Amino acid sequence: MKKALTSVLLSLILTLTASGCAPELYERLLISAIGVDRTATGCRVTVLASETTEDGGQSTFSGEGDTVPEALSQIALESGRTPLYSHNAAILFGMQCAESGIAEQLDFFIRHYDSRPTAKVFLAEDTAESVLLQTDLTAERFMQLSNGAKYSGAAADVNLLQLVNGLYGVNTTAALPVLRADDLPTPVGTAVLQSYRLCTVLTPAEAQGLSALQGTLSGGEFIVKDEAFGTVSLKARSTNSNIIFTGTAEQPEFTAKIHVIA
């Protein structure tokens, strides 16, 4: 009997402790997109958050600090709610982050226990804040951009896990779609990163070429001129490639064979 009573009391204490520590839903800030910009002393973080009220809606909050966690702490202070990142659909880096290197800002998203590896990653043509402050912006817009890139092949479609693999992998390329802050965020190019820094920005046609070289192109229209058939329009369905190094360290050369099913 004594053992049973002890077990009941222990279960009750654990239940009360757990319920006392976990914030209620109305105390949560449901993050749907996070933007990071570099400042002179650290970074500025802007978040797009879903309202937990019955009418829903979206709100934006910003905070500054030496690091991303410190800036997010300022947002918690301003909003009066605890950020919840498990719903986050998109991560945006400002152009200055890419030009100086995103390693420090990226570290938070890699290490945080609540970070989603499937969150889509973008690079802003100017600042991430300018993109997230667009009127009527929702998380669904980032999913539309991701699907559009996948089906057209004219821009990169990258999530956090793919970005990390591209940055840390051997013989891999890290690429991010570049967004312009129009009435709604619009893709204008694909940024290639090397050693965490911006290397170049590709046009939509060049982005299709990069996807073909990587064997990941699965969409997009192409005009092909052939002596037997004339000019035809083809829709790519899948690709695979084989790239062989045929040169020397002094004169690097590559032979690339790309097979396109269209």
Q: Is the dihedral of CA 67, 72, 73, 78 positive or negative?
A: positive
Q: Is the dihedral of CA 30, 106, 128, 42 positive or negative?
A: positive
Residue 8: per-residue pLDDT: 46
Residue 9: per-residue pLDDT: 47
Is residue 232 a part of any domain in this protein? no
Could you give the number of structural domains in the chain? 1
Residue 51: per-residue pLDDT: 67
Residue 44: per-residue pLDDT: 96
Residue 13: per-residue pLDDT: 47
Residue 48: per-residue pLDDT: 92
Is residue 112 a part of any domain in this protein? yes
- Whether 74 and 65 have beta carbons less than 8 Å apart is answered as yes
Is residue 237 a part of any domain in this protein? no
Distance CA 48, CA 138 (A): 8
Is residue 60 a part of any domain in this protein? yes
Is residue 235 a part of any domain in this protein? no
Is residue 125 a part of any domain in this protein? yes
Is residue 250 a part of any domain in this protein? no
Average confidence (pLDDT) per 10 residues, the chain, 262 residues: 50 49 66 94 92 69 93 87 86 96 92 90 95 85 86 87 89 87 88 93 90 85 86 90 91 92 92
Is residue 1 a part of any domain in this protein? no
Residue 21: per-residue pLDDT: 57
Distance CA 92, CA 101 (A): 14
Nearest to 208 by CA among 245, 170, 234: 234
Look up the domain containing 60 and give its range: 28-202
